[in-house]
Structure 1
Amino acid sequence: MAEEMNVFSVGDLVKGTVTKVEDKQVFVDVGFKVDGIVPISELATLHIEKAGDVIAVNDEVELQVTKVEDDELILSKKAVQAEKAWLMLEDVQRKDAVIEAVVAEIVKGGLVVDLGVRGFVPASHVERHFVEDFSSYEGETLQVKVIELDKGNNKLILSQRAVQEDEVEHKKKQTLQSIEVGSTLSGTVQRLATFGAFVDIGGVDGLVHISQIAHERVENPQDVLSEGDTVTVKVLSVDIDNERISLSIKETLPGPWANVGSTLNVNEVVSGKVKRLVNFGAFVEVLPGVEGLVHISQISTRHIGNPAEVLEVGETVKVKILEVNEVDNRISLSIREAQEDETRSQTKAYEKEHQEESSGFSLADMIGDQLKKYR
C-alpha cells in the first residue's frame, strides 16, 4: 500500500467515484486499493452540516491531493472548484462582465454568495438605494460584477449596485440620443437650486435655468416651483458628450403679450412701474412681462431734455394707453395725458362743487322743492 501511495503527490489532480458518504466525510475510489477521503470541510466553499447535502454515492468527482501518508490519502473537492473559480473570476474581472450569484448567507455587513469560492457583497453594494433589512435576499439570484479580487488572500468582493449603475448610465445615454431639440416633454422637478431647477424627463435630468422658468422675472425658483411638481418643458439644447440638457418651462407657457388687446383698452389709465430709461423715453411695465413706451414728449407737460430729469427706475406711475399693437408687441403710453385727464377731472369736480355753493342751494334742495308739489 505504501508503494501505491508513492504515486501521489500533494497538489495532484485525480478523478474518482464516490463509494461511501458519511456525515463528516466521503470515501472516493481513485483506482487504488485504498479509497481516498474527502473531509466535509473540503467538500464545499461554504459551511455544510452533512456531507450528504452536497454529494451522493456514485457521483463522479475531480479532486486535489492535499495529504499523502502510508495508509491515508486526503483529498479536496473544494480546492479544485476554487482553482477553476479563480480563473473564471479573473476573466470576468478583466472583461468587466456581469455574472449571476445566488445569496447563500446573510451576515453582518452584507451578503455571502458561493461562486466556487466565497464571495462577499457589502451592504452598500447590494442596491443603489439604502436597504434596512436583508432577510428577504437569502436564496435570491443577484447580477454582480467583480470589484475586488485577491486570490492570495482568498478575497472576493462583488457588487450588484455597479451593475445597476451601468444600466442607469446606458439608459441615460439612450435617452440623451433620443431627445430632439425643440420637442415638448413632461417632467418632474427633482431638485431646486438658486440658479434654476433640475427636471427628470425620463431617466435623465435637464436644467431649467431661472431665466427660463417664467416670462416674468423670478427671484428664486422656490417661489414658483416645488420638488415633485409635474411640469411641461421644451428642449432647448442637448450635449450628449457632457450629458447636459437645457430645458425651458417659459417656452411652453402663453407669452405675456397673449390677449393683451382684450386686457388693456385704449384711453384707459393704468398704473405701471418704470423699468428702463432711454434717451427717447421710458419703458413702463403695465402687466407682468409687458412693457410699453412712454415717448419723451409724453412724459411731462413741460419740456424735458432727458427722462431721468423727472423719472426713476422702479417708480410707479399712472399712464394712459394711447395704442395697443398685438402684432408687433408694442404699446404706446402717456404719462402727460394721464396727468392732464386727472387734472381735468379734478377741475370739473371743483367747478361743480363751486357752482352749487354759489347758487345758495344744493341739488338736494332742488329735488326737495319738487317733491313738495306732490304732497
Structure 2
Amino acid sequence: MNEDNITNENQNAMEDALNSVHDVKVGDIVKGEVLAIDDDKQLIVGIQGTGVEGVVPMKELSSQHIDDINDAAKIGDVLDLVVISTIGKDKENGSYLLSKRRLEARKVWTEIQEKFEAGESIDAPVTEVVKGGLVVDAGVRGFIPASMIEDHFVDDLSQYKGQTLKLKIIEIEPSENRLILSHRAIAEAEKAEQKEKILATLKAGDVVEGTVARLTNFGAFVDLGGIDGLVHVSEISYDRVDKPSDVLKVGETVKVAVLSVDTDKERISLSIKATLPEPWTDIEDKAPVGSVLEGTVKRLTTFGAFVEVFPGVEGLVHISQISHEHIATPNDVLSEGETVKVKVLDVKPDAHRLALSIKALAPKPNGETEKPVATPVDTSKYQSDDDEGGFTLGDIIGKDLKG
C-alpha cells in the first residue's frame, strides 16, 4: 500500500467522523459510555457511533438529589441520554451537554399522559410543603393546590410531608413542566363508593361505631365511615340535653344504634341512648318504696312537680305531697332546677312511674297529725295528654289514702 492510499484512507475516515457529528442534534436520544468522572461533578461520556464526547453534569443524572456522583454511575457504564445543547464550535473535538434526568422525565411525561387519557390515577410521595399546596415526586414535579388536598379545609399541610397519596391527574403540560394533581377527587370518589356500600348494608337495629363530625342545636352528625347519620338531641341521652355540645365533642368516637335508613334520601337516623342501659331497669331495687332520694325539679305543673331522681327517671310529687300547708300551685314553694329530697311512695316499673313525696320528709306543723282524706277526688284531672301523667289517685298520694 503506497502513501497516497494511506493518506486517502485517513482523509475518508476523518470525513466520516466529521459527517457523523452532523448526525448528533439537540433532542436526539443517544447512548453514552462513561469514560471519566471529572472532579466528582460531571461525567465525561463517549457518544456511541459518533466518535465525539459529551458531558453529563451531576444535576442531570437524576431527578432525585445525589450526594455522591459515584453512587449514580461508574466508568464503563452505558447510559441512555438526551442531547440538550452543544458545547463549543469545534466539531472535530466538540462536546455535547447530555442529560439522563431529562430523558427519564420525558418517559415519565409520556406515561402520565397515557394515564391521564385513560382516566387512571397515580401514586406519588409528598416531598415539600409550599405556599398554596403540596409538591410531589411523580417522576416529575407535580403540584397539589391546597383546595384539592381534601374534601374539607386543612389548616396544617405539614402533616402530609412524606406521605404517599393517590392522585387524580387534573392538568398536564409537559412543555411547561406543569402537572396539576388532586387528592380531593380521589377522596370524594372513595367516600361516594363507601356511602353506597353503607346504605346497602346498614339496617335498623344495627349497633356501630362512628365519629362525631358536626354538632348543631338539634343534634349531632356522626360519620359512619363515608356517610353521616343524625343523632337527634332527644336521642343523645336519657338525661335531658339542652345542647349537644354540652355532652359531645367533634372527633369523639361514639357507639350508636341505627333507628332507620332511607336509601332514597341517603338519610340515617341514629341513637346514642339506645346503646345505654335503660334507666328504668331494676328501678324497684334502686328506688324501693320508703327510700329517700335526692333529685332535681325538672318541670312544674298545676297538679305537681316532676322530679328527676336518676338520669332519665322522673317521678311525680303531687301538689298534695309538696307541703303540709295548703298551696295554690307548686310554683309557690318550688322552682325548676331546684334540688330536693323526696320519699318514694309507690313504684310502677312497667308504667315507668314513681310517686314521690316531699311532705313526708318534713316535720308536721305544731306536731299535728294528718287527717285521712274523706272527700272523693276526681282523678281525671291528673291525667295528661302524654305519658308524663296518667297517675291514679293512689299513685299520687300513695299511702296517705290508707286508714
Question: Shorter-chain-normalised TM-score: which range?
Answer: 0.5 to 0.7
Aligned match for 1:347, one of 368, 386, 393: 368
SS in 2 for 1:22: strand
Aligned position for 2:376: none
- Matched pairs, number: 332
What is the deviation of 1:38?
3.5
Q: Pick closer, same or farther for the CA change 1:345–1:208 going to 2, 3 Å.
A: farther
What is the deviation of 1:250?
1.3
- Is the CA contact (8 Å cut-off) linking 1:40 and 1:51 kept in structure 2? no
Aligned position for 1:4: 19
| 1:1-375 matches, cutoff 5 A | 1=15, 4-5=19-20, 8=23, 10=25, 13=28, 17-23=31-37, 24-30=43-49, 34-41=50-57, 44-46=61-63, 50=69, 53-54=72-73, 57=76, 59=78, 61=80, 63=82, 70-71=91-92, 72=94, 74=96, 76-78=98-100, 79-95=102-118, 97-100=120-123, 113=137, 115=139, 117-119=140-142, 131=158, 142-143=164-165, 145=167, 146=169, 149-156=172-179, 165=187, 169=191, 173=195, 176-177=198-199, 178-186=201-209, 196=219, 208-221=231-244, 223-224=246-247, 231-237=254-260, 246-265=269-288, 273=297, 275=299, 277=301, 281-282=303-304, 284-285=306-307, 287-288=309-310, 289-292=312-315, 314=336, 323-331=346-354, 346-348=367-369
- Is the CA contact (8 Å cut-off) linking 2:125 and 2:138 kept in structure 1? yes
Aligned position for 1:366: none
- Is the CA contact (8 Å cut-off) linking 2:172 and 2:178 kept in structure 1? yes
SS in 2 for 1:152: helix
- Is the CA contact (8 Å cut-off) linking 1:275 and 1:283 kept in structure 2? yes
- Is the CA contact (8 Å cut-off) linking 1:62 and 1:80 kept in structure 2? yes
What is the deviation of 1:251?
1.2
- Is the CA contact (8 Å cut-off) linking 2:56 and 2:99 kept in structure 1? no
Aligned position for 1:355: none
- Is the CA contact (8 Å cut-off) linking 1:266 and 1:324 kept in structure 2? yes
What is the deviation of 1:176?
3.2
Q: Pick closer, same or farther for the CA change 1:52–1:258 going to 2, 3 Å.
A: closer
**Unaligned runs of at least 5 residues, structure 2:** 1-14, 38-42, 371-403
What is the deviation of 1:27?
1.1
The Cα offsets for residues 162-189 of structure 1, whole Å up to 9 and x where unpaired, read as: 6995797479548735544322235666
What is the deviation of 1:296?
8.8
Counterpart of 1:25 in structure 2: which amino acid?
I
What is the deviation of 1:326?
1.7
- Is the CA contact (8 Å cut-off) linking 1:292 and 1:333 kept in structure 2? yes
Using the aligned pairs only, state the percent identity.
32
SS in 2 for 1:215: coil
Q: Pick closer, same or farther for the CA change 1:122–1:233 going to 2, 3 Å.
A: closer
What is the deviation of 1:18?
3.7
Counterpart of 1:277 in structure 2: which amino acid?
T
The Cα offsets for residues 244-289 of structure 1, whole Å up to 9 and x where unpaired, read as: 65432211223332233334455778887372537xx456235343
Q: Distance in 1 between matches of 2:145 and 2:299?
A: 60
Q: Distance in 2 between matches of 1:20 and 1:318?
A: 95
- Is the CA contact (8 Å cut-off) linking 1:273 and 1:285 kept in structure 2? yes
What is the deviation of 1:217?
0.8
Counterpart of 2:61 in structure 1: which amino acid?
A
Q: TM-score, normalised by structure 1?
A: 0.58
The Cα offsets for residues 138-172 of structure 1, whole Å up to 9 and x where unpaired, read as: xxx9455356543232234667x669957974795
Q: Distance in 1 between matches of 2:55 and 2:251?
A: 60
What is the deviation of 1:88?
1.6
Q: TM-score, normalised by structure 2?
A: 0.55
What is the deviation of 1:40?
0.5
What is the deviation of 1:218?
2.2
Q: Pick closer, same or farther for the CA change 1:234–1:114 going to 2, 3 Å.
A: closer
What is the deviation of 1:214?
1.6
Q: Pick closer, same or farther for the CA change 1:259–1:73 going to 2, 3 Å.
A: same
What is the deviation of 1:19?
4.5
